[in-house]
Amino acid sequence: MKTNTNNNQRPLIERPIQETAFYPSYKHLIQNDNYEEWSGYTALASFACEGQEYFAVRNTCGVYDICPMIKYDISGPDAERFMNRLVTRDVSKMLPERVVYAVWCNDNGHVIEDGTVFRYSATDFRLCCAERQLEWLEDSSIGYDVSIADVTEEIAGLAVQGPVSCRILKKMGFTGVENLKPFQLATFPLHGYDVVISRTGFTGDLGYELWIDVKNASDLWESLFSAGKPHGILMMGSEALEMLRIEAGLMLVNAEFMSCFQTVRLNRDRTPFELGLDWLVDFNKGHFIGRRALLKVSMKGLSRKLVGIDIDWNKQADGALIYDSKDASKQIGEVTSALWSPILKQNIALAYLDAPYFDGGKEMWAEVYLHRECMWERKMYKCRVAQRPFYSPDRRRLTPPNDM
């Protein structure tokens, strides 16, 4: 355990922040001390330049330390029944060595979180998510023959993302990694230990996530970076990831929605429908937590929905309110995450829009505030509903990927 310190300063707040298993390997690359806390771990917002890190993922390979991601191992004869009741989609259809994106709700059908479900075998699953929720999982396991273990501290993870990610992994000796389809996983040997590689990520690009026992972290990191160095491999921080995930149109807990465990105000809870995740809700698979509430909700029309929008001009529309007209007479939505997309040269955002605006085709205006030479200016820009993902290159889906 270490306290969060900047090199030249006393700690602002004394509190334990843990280093990830990879931290000793990459700390020499940290140039601007742009730290942040993530689930009790030291994480980097950027190593040197977030723009450069962003472009590494789009052009070569960027690596993101995902050790702090919360990981629960769920095993036992009833693991499939347990998982199928927990999440809204049908995981009984999942084959072993597959990964799916899933969302799970409380009794009221309000979203607790979204995350990924890894299936290793008929009886072994892993749930990866951003927030701790062991209590909910344990209470949900009452009546099931399953064991639930928080393995966050035991499993180290690296996201290796970008057009040359596959090539680097092949060079490391992961023979056959190119045959992994999106959302498929497999176990590969490396220097006498196992590396689980899943073709998953949060960047909307070709990419893989590598999962190992924490004790092998430095060996994996060294191998990866020595193989990747000629290909322009770069560590990246959360600021670059934020740009990437917005271009990929992916939502983030505490940005697009808050877990229903944490909301205080009324009307801050979200159903999967409001998040545009109706494709994840399977009413035909039998009961799951929140099903009855969601069934009722689904009978009524939606009053708001999260969509992608495209805004005129090039001023990033952070926190913009959206109106029905240029004179801002009626608010009809708001931006949750915004980005001037470097690769698309487009002003994009994720936003909640009221009915019927989320269906598109109506006139909408975003109210954008600009800070220019120490003065705030308010600008109204026309905007429209746009397809998500905003950016989705073919290499994201191609198996095997083009050998770049």
Partner 1 sequence: MAKHYQNIVIGGGHNGLVCAAYLARAGQSVLVVEAANEIGGAACTRELVPGAKVSSGAHLLHAMPADLISDLGLANHGLSFSAQSIKTVSLNADGPAIVFDGDTVKGEDVSAEDEAAYQRFNADMQRMAKALRPVFDKLAPEPSIETWAERLTLLGLGLRIRSLGRFHMRELLRIIGMNFYDLLDEYFENRQLKAAIAMDALLGAEWGARSMGSVLTYLYRLAGYQRSKGLGLALPAGGMGAVSQSIAAAAKAAGAEIRTSAKVKSILIENDKASGVELDDGEKIQAGRVISNADPKQTFLKLVNVDHLDTGFIRQIRNLRSRGRAAKLHLVLKAAPQFKGLQEADLGARMLIAPNMDDIELAFNPCKYGRYPEEPVFEITVPSASDGSLAANGQHVLSAIVQYVPYDDSAELDANRAAFLKTILQQLERYAPGIGKQISHAELLLPRDLENEFGITGGHWHHVELVFEAFLFNRPVPALARHSSPIEGLYMCGAGCHPGGNVMGIAGRNAANQVLKGGQ
Beta-carbon contacts of 107 under 8 Å, excluding residues fewer than 6 positions away, are: 289, 290, 293
- 159-173 per-residue burial string, b: 16 or more CB within 10 A, e: under 16: bbbbbbbbbbbbbbe
Cis peptide before 230 (omega within 30 of 0): no
**Nearest-approach distance from CB 149 to partner 1, in angstroms:** 18
Residue 269: DSSP 8-state: -
Host H or E run for residue 189: strand 185-190
Q: Tell me, what DSSP letter sits at residue 400?
A: S
Quick one: which of 352, 118, 115 has its CA closest to 252?
115
Q: Which of positions 288-317 make contact with partner 1 (CB under 8 A)?
A: 289-292
Question: Do residues 253 and 243 touch, judged by C-beta distance below 8 A?
Answer: no
Residue 26 DSSP SS3? helix
Q: From the CB of 84, what's the least distance to partner 1, in Å?
A: 8
Distance of closest approach, residue 103 Cβ to partner 1, in angstroms: 15
- Adjacent-strand bridge partners of 205: none
Please report whether residue 81 would count as binding partner 1 according to CB under 8 A: yes
Q: Which stretch binds partner 1 (CB under 8 A): 213-221, 287-295, 333-341, 381-389?
A: 287-295
Q: Contact between 125 and partner 1 (CB under 8 A)?
A: no
Q: Show the binding pattern over residues 184-223: x = contacts partner 1 (CB under 8 A), - = does not.
A: ----------------------------------------
277 Ramachandran zone, left/alpha/beta (phi>0; psi -120 to 50)? alpha
* Binding-residue pattern over the window 99 to 118 for partner 1, x denoting contact by CB under 8 A: -------xxx----------
* Residue 215 or 296 having the CB closest to partner 1: 296
- Interacting positions 220-249 with partner 1 (CB under 8 A): none
- Nearest residue (CB) to partner 1, 251 versus 280: 280
Q: For partner 1, what does the binding mask look like between residues 132 and 151, x meaning CB under 8 A?
A: ----x--xx-xxx-------
For residue 170, what is the DSSP state? H
Closest to partner 1 by CB, 60 or 133: 133
Residues near partner 1 (CB under 8 A) are 81, 85, 106-108, 136, 139-140, 142-144, 286-287, 289-292
